[in-house]
Amino acid sequence: MSSQIEQKIRSLLEGTIDFKGQERVESLVHYWLIFTTALSFIVGLAIQDISYTFKIFFGSSALLALVVVPPWPFLSQQPVTWLPEMPPSDTKKSQ
């Protein structure tokens, strides 16, 4: 039973992300960091305590890492199909 759970966790951690998933993650990171930076600054300014600014920012960054670091299955919905390998050509240049 534990080996099945182990295999599921391993397959989840060894997954891949396609190019569209990478674009989604990149835009999510940009918007998330801009929003939480502004939010943490405003909250820290309103409360007049810089520790709240850092707590909100670092807490949201940790949550963001949990969302974007693992290769979640929804990030690989459009896998890349590569062209088949072409055999080497045997033509040689005449001298």
Question: Where exactly are the structural domains of the chain?
Answer: 2-74
More confident residue, 41 or 13: 41
More confident residue, 92 or 8: 8
Give 55-66 pLDDT, tens digit per residue: 999 999 999 999
* Residue 80 near residue 19, CB atoms below 8 Å: yes
Using the 8-state DSSP alphabet, how is residue 78 labeled? S
Checking if the pLDDT of 88 tops 80, the result is yes
Give 17-69 pLDDT, tens digit per residue: 888 989 999 999 999 999 999 999 999 999 999 999 999 999 999 999 999 88
Q: pLDDT class for 6, splitting at 50, 70, 90?
A: confident
